[in-house]
């Protein structure tokens, strides 16, 4: 896989800011472009269809404790999730998985007795507030009994680069998308951006989004069907 400095140079060659014959970066250019390309990757992490995987992580729950910080150095020590997505569940000591319903702030706020507990949590609210230590908060209701493990599925930020010598560690298609889109960004205020480059940049991002798009599974609420569910193949 390429290193970041190679991708930056490829981007600058596309805009004419560098040539193949003179393809090197000064220290000042390395620092500037590293910051800018990391800014682009940070922005991309908020585009759902640029996230290529859903990561499952598990944590042991503490009896009667329904509030946990999540992020680097938090109660759940991991990279702070962009978002938590279904399905999430708890697993008891008998290895039985029990589903959790993700709820929003309004629904969690309307729970009257949030201290009710020593049970299997049925609801989880992800408070994505950003603390000084870059942690968010998970809130469970009812409060958990002992011997439970929480399993969550999360959208994680895309790779960031510690140095221009860092290797790209992303699936096929991302290198082209990063180079062409960074070429557009690096050219702003410096040189005109060609229509051809703009079109290629859009196409490379669209190709990734097409790959990452998953088809929804159709279903009807049991209250509608009056049965155990509905299958688009077999009917109710």
194-214 pLDDT, tens per residue?
A: 999 999 999 999 999 999 998
Question: Which stretches in the chain have pLDDT values below 50?
Answer: none
Domain end among 113, 139, 155: 155
pLDDT at 54: 94
pLDDT at 229: 56
Domain end among 106, 121, 155: 155
pLDDT at 132: 75
Distance CA 65, CA 139 (A): 9
pLDDT at 228: 56
pLDDT at 200: 98
Chain centroid, CA 70 distance in Å? 14
Contact 139, 125 (CB under 8 A): yes
What does DSSP assign to residue 166?
Answer: P
pLDDT at 21: 84
Beta bridge partners of 154: 55, 84
- Residues 123, 80, single domain; the answer is yes
Chain centroid, CA 119 distance in Å? 30
Distance CA 125, CA 84 (A): 9
Crossing angle for the helix pair 27-44 and 174-187, nearest 10 degrees? 120
Give me the number of domains the chain comprises.
2
- Residues 143, 103, single domain; the answer is yes
Structure tokens at 221: 């609420």
pLDDT at 230: 56
Helix (H, G, I), strand (E, B) or coil at 224: helix
The parent domain of residue 164 ranges over: 4-49+159-212
87 inside domain: yes
- Residues 150, 62, single domain; the answer is yes
201 inside domain: yes
Beta bridge partners of 152: 57
100 inside domain: yes
Kindly report, residue by residue over 11-43, the tens digit of the pLDDT.
999 999 999 987 889 999 999 999 999 999 999
224 inside domain: no
- Residues 11, 24, single domain; the answer is yes
Q: DSSP states of 20-37 as a string?
A: SSS----HHHHHHHHHHH
Locate the DSSP E strands across the chain: 55-60, 67-71, 76-77, 83-91, 97-103, 123-127, 136-141, 149-155
Distance CA 5, CA 1 (A): 12
**Phi/psi of residue 213, nearest 5 degrees:** -75, 130
Tally of residues, the chain: 236
pLDDT at 220: 58
Q: Report the DSSP pairing between strands 136-141 and 67-71.
A: antiparallel
pLDDT at 87: 93
pLDDT at 224: 61
- Residues 169, 95, single domain; the answer is no
- Residues 113, 141, single domain; the answer is yes
């Amino acid at each position: 896989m390429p290193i970041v400095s190679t991708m930056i140079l490829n981007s600058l060659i596309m805009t004419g800011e560098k040539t193949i014959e003179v393809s090197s970066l000064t220290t000042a250019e390395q620092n500037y472009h590293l910051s800018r390309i990391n800014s682009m990757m940070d922005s991309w992490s908020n585009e759902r269809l640029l996230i290529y995987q859903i990561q499952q992580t598990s944590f042991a729950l503490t009896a009667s404790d329904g509030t946990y910080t999540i992020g680097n150095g938090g109660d759940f020590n991991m990279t702070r999730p962009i978002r938590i997505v279904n399905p999430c569940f708890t697993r008891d000591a008998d290895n039985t998985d029990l589903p959790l319903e993700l709820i929003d702030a309004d629904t969690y706020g309307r729970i009257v007795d949030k201290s009710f507990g020593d049970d299997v949590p049925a609801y989880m609210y992800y408070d994505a507030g950003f603390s000084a230590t870059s942690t968010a908060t998970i809130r469970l209701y009812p409060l958990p009994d002992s011997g439970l493990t929480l399993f969550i599925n999360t959208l994680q930020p895309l790779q960031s680069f510690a140095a221009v010598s860092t290797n790209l560690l992303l699936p096929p298609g991302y290198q082209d998308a990063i180079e062409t889109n960074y070429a557009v960004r690096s050219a702003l205020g410096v040189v005109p951006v060609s229509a051809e480059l703009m079109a290629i940049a859009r196409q490379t991002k669209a190709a990734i989004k097409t790959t990452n798009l998953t088809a929804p599974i159709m279903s009807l609420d049991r209250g509608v069907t009056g049965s155990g569910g509905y299958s688009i193949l077999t009917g109710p």
